[in-house]
């Protein structure tokens, strides 16, 4: 199998490796770089557990090749916290609002929510639900994930979070 040299930036660090042209990005991240935060749930780009951010877009890393990300700027869950370890508002919010249970969808969900909040600083509940519909969760029923994203948005925007009436 032919191999290619790929280099990219992952979580702010330059990385380079020789990979088979068929190596999927998710396997490159998990096995070559030991970034095991992104998970594999379906291998058909339905579940979103493998979601990473590539050059400002949410991408399911199980259905692109590592070589397609050559030169790109990749962000995974491991790069969400600040360099000093301070958690991102979304990471805090998911814990605060009980937006996770088994934790398997969480890295993809948070990375996706991060991009959503870049695209729309103050999304409505319907916009959040549509915005995360490429990421499946089998545990939470999404309700607390929606709340977590609203909570994080409020925090990022510097406004008080108000829980919608049940």
Partner 1 sequence: MNAPTPPTSLERAEKLKGMGFKRKRVEDVRFTQGRGNYVDDIKLPGMLHGDFHRSSHAHARIVKIDTSKAKAVPGVVAVLTAEELKGVNLAWMPTLAGDVQMVLADGKVLFQNQEIAFIVATDRYIAADAADLVEVEYEALPVVVDPFKAMDADAPVLREDIKDKKDGAHGPRKHYNHIFNWSVGDKDLTDAAFVKAEVSTKDLLSYQRVHPCPLETCQTVCSYSKITGDLTIYGTFQAPHVIRTVVALISSIPEQKIHVISPDIGGGFGNKVGAYPGYICAAVASIVTGLPVKWVEDRIENLSTTSFARDYHMTTEIAATRDGRVQALRVHILADHGAFDACADPSKWPAGFSNIVTGSYDFPVAHLSVDGVYTNKAPGGVAYRCSFRVTEVVYALERAMDIMAQKLGMDPVDFRMKNFIKREQFPYQSALGWEYDSGDYHMAMDKAVAAIDYRKLREEQKAKQEAFKRGETRDIMGIGVCFFTEIVGAGPSKNCDILGIAMFDSAEIRIHPTGRVLGRMGSKSQGQGHETTWAQIIATEIGIPADDIAIEEGNTDTAPYGLGTYGSRSTPVAGAAIAMAARKIKAKAQMIAAYLLEVHEGDLEWDVDRFKVKGNPEQFKTMAQLAWAAYNKVPPGMEPGLEAVSYYDPPNMTYPFGAYFCVMDIDVDTGVHKVRRFYALDDCGTRINPMIIEGQVHGGCTEGYGIAMGQEIVYDAAGNVKGASLMDYFLPTAVETPHWETDFTVTPSPHHPIGAKGVGESPNVGSVPCFSNAVNDAFKFLGNVHMSMPHDAYRVWQAAEDLGLHK
- State the DSSP code for 136: -
Sketch the per residue contact string, 105 through 134, with partner 1: x for CB under 8 A, - otherwise: xxx--x-----------------xxx-xxx
C-alpha distances in angstroms, 90 versus 64, 72, 109? 26, 24, 10
Which three-class secondary structure state does DSSP give residue 97?
Answer: coil
**Closest distance between partner 1 and the C-beta of residue 166, in Å?**
6
Binding of residue 61 to partner 1 (CB under 8 A): no
Nearest to 43 by CA among 68, 18, 57, 25: 25
Phi and psi angles of residue 121, each rounded to the nearest 5 degrees, phi first: -70, -25
2 binds partner 1 (CB under 8 A): no
Give me the residues that bind partner 1 (CB under 8 A), please. 1, 20, 22-23, 27, 30-31, 34-44, 46-47, 49, 76-78, 80-81, 87, 91-92, 94-96, 98, 100-107, 110, 128-130, 132-146, 166
């Amino acid at each position: 199998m032919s191999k290619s040299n790929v280099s990219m930036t992952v979580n702010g660090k330059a990385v380079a490796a020789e990979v088979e042209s068929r190596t999927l990005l998710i396997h490159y991240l998990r096995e070559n770089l030991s970034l095991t935060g992104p998970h594999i749930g379906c291998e058909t780009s339905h579940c979103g557990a493998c979601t990473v951010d590539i050059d400002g877009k949410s991408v399911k890393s199980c259905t692109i090749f590592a070589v397609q990300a050559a030169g790109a700027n990749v962000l995974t869950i491991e790069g969400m916290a600040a360099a000093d370890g301070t958690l991102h508002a979304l990471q805090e919010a998911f814990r605060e609002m009980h937006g996770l249970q088994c934790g398997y969808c969480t890295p993809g969900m948070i990375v996706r929510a991060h991009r959503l909040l870049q695209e729309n600083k103050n999304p409505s509940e319907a916009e959040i639900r549509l915005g995360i519909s490429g990421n499946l969760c089998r545990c939470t029923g999404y309700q607390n994930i929606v709340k977590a994203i609203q909570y994080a948005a409020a925090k990022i925007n510097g406004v008080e979070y108000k829980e919608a009436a049940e």
